[in-house]
Amino acid sequence: MSRDITRRSVLAGIGTTGAVAVAGCSSGGGGNSVDARVGVLQPTTGDLGDLGAPIQDAGVLPVTQLQNEGVEYTLESRREDTETNPSVGVDRAQALATAGYPSITGAASSAVTIRVAEEVLFQQEVVGISPASTSPAITDLDGDYLLRTCPTDALQGVALANLAYEDRGLESVATLYLNNDYGQGLNDAFVSSFQEAGGEVLAEQSFQKQQPSYSSVLSDVLSDTPDALLVIGYPASGTQIFRNFYERNDAQDYTVLVTDGLQENGLPSDVDNSMENVIGTAPAATGPGRDTFDQLYQDEYGTEPGVYNAQAYDATAVHILAQLRAGELSGPAISEEIRAVANPGGEVIGPGSLAEGLEMAANGTEIQYQGASSNVEFDENGDLSAAVFNVFEYSREGYEVTDRVNL
């Protein structure tokens, strides 16, 4: 766990995670009171660790940015690692709630987010905004205390099915999916859309994460020789799946479809194959503040942002604005203001004007946050009202975005 705190003035030379700035006072609450406090609950270890670490970095970036800009509000953020494990996620979310954090950016894995929501967020009235949990099952939960800045996989299933059947002419497919909420939900959404388009699903097979070999399950799922194989999982397991796949198959034997969980530049290197037969979809970051966010992220971390990074930045930014508009660190009060600072109506605020947005929110000025990932408009279920997906393809150097799908 680490904590980042920003106050009106910052001690010279402090810029690392966990640093505390103690000078100055809050213009919102006076004295040493805290105006906004956001926990960032993301996996930095476990099956999603490679993807979750930069998502966590992006989730604390608004606090770092505002610290660098010298805002006259006291802001706190605290990082927690879910280890891509629902039980650990619940424990870490409880730690945040106990420490007085009324807002959480997280989690990443849908299975973790659902458990955290049911056992912590709803019971203790803590507001969660997930930047990366895409399971359709989340739509049916409490949209006042669990929202998301990423689109539901009900939409990604449509985008991927259209890519496979309409654009690539793949008429049959077998699916291999991680045995959790994310894998099952996205598999079901794809299968339904692919069959509705006219395609044939020859096999559906779940798998357990991080097994020493997937040769047997691959042999079973490919036994009827489909045109394509869909793999839904995360890098730690996906690496072994692809190693076993290429041990028995050449790239020209099958087109392999993947989803956002396997969008990772280091995957071809880890697999030791160019993976040029692999194509996938992932939620795109196309908000009006994307360029500003990209520059902020590169300046802070020295690398380009990846999948769900912009969504994490937006989640934390919305939390902060809602807390200042609420005027208190209370989950119920914050929940009432989330849509007031995000949905259409009022002066537009984005990553480049976030500092000005704090003052407006605190003064009750009508604002709408338009972010790095999207315009961030939440429906009654806490889902986004619209979505854009990237189409990406692999080569030895990593993946490249080659097209875009609007839904």
% helix, strand, coil for the chain, step of 5? 40, 20, 40
Joined tokens for residue 43: 């996996």
Task: With CA atoms as reference, report the closest residue to 334 among 21, 28, 38.
Answer: 38
Mean pLDDT, range 299-307, rounded to an integer: 96
Give the count of beta carbons closer than 10 Å to the beta carbon of residue 30.
9
Cβ density class 148-186: b for 16+ within 10 Å, e for less: bbbbbbbbbbbbbbbbbbeeeebebbbbbbbebbbbbbb
pLDDT bucket at 21, cuts 50 / 70 / 90: very low
pLDDT digits (tens, 9 = 90+) for 61-104: 999 999 999 999 999 999 999 999 999 999 999 999 999 999 99
Q: Which of 21-35, 86-100, 234-248, 382-396 has the lowest mean pLDDT?
A: 21-35
Percent of the chain residues topping a pLDDT of 90: 89
pLDDT bucket at 386, cuts 50 / 70 / 90: confident
Query: Which residue ranges does the chain devote to CATH 3.40.50.2300?
Result: 2-151+286-369, 154-283+388-406
Angle, to 10 degrees, between the axis of helix 290-301 and the axis of helix 309-326?
A: 100
Answer whether residue 3 shows pLDDT above 80: no
DSSP secondary structure letter of residue 224 = T
Helices (H), 129-214: 153-162, 181-197
CA angle 376, 379, 380 (to 5 degrees): 140
Answer whether residue 33 shows pLDDT above 90: no
From the candidate CATH numbers 3.10.450.50, 3.40.50.2300, 3.90.226.10, 3.40.50.880, the one assigned to the domain spanning 2-151+286-369:
3.40.50.2300
Angle, to 10 degrees, between the axis of helix 181-197 and the axis of helix 153-162?
A: 40
| Mean predicted lDDT score pLDDT of the chain | 92
Answer whether residue 407 shows pLDDT above 90: no
Answer whether residue 23 shows pLDDT above 70: no
Residue 4: the pLDDT is: 54
pLDDT bucket at 13, cuts 50 / 70 / 90: very low
Residue 71: the pLDDT is: 96
Residue 1: the pLDDT is: 56
pLDDT digits (tens, 9 = 90+) for 330-368: 999 999 999 999 999 999 999 999 999 999 999 999 999
pLDDT bucket at 19, cuts 50 / 70 / 90: very low
- Which CATH number is associated with domain 154-283+388-406? 3.40.50.2300
pLDDT digits (tens, 9 = 90+) for 194-235: 999 999 999 999 999 989 999 999 999 999 999 999 999 999
CA atoms of 106 and 166, how far apart (whole Å): 34
pLDDT digits (tens, 9 = 90+) for 236-255: 899 999 999 999 999 999 99
Answer whether residue 303 shows pLDDT above 70: yes
Residue 209: the pLDDT is: 92
Q: What are the Cα distances from residue 80, in Å, to 53, 105, 138, 159?
A: 11, 10, 22, 33
Rg, the chain, Cα only:
21
Residue 15: the pLDDT is: 30
Q: What are the Cα distances from residue 274, in Å, to 122, 266, 373?
A: 45, 11, 29
pLDDT digits (tens, 9 = 90+) for 134-167: 999 999 999 999 999 999 999 999 999 999 999 9
pLDDT digits (tens, 9 = 90+) for 95-134: 999 999 999 999 999 999 999 999 999 999 999 999 999 9
Per the CB < 8 A criterion, the answer to whether 109 and 126 are in contact is: no
Answer whether residue 16 shows pLDDT above 90: no
Residue 63: the pLDDT is: 98
Joined tokens for residue 211: 């097994």
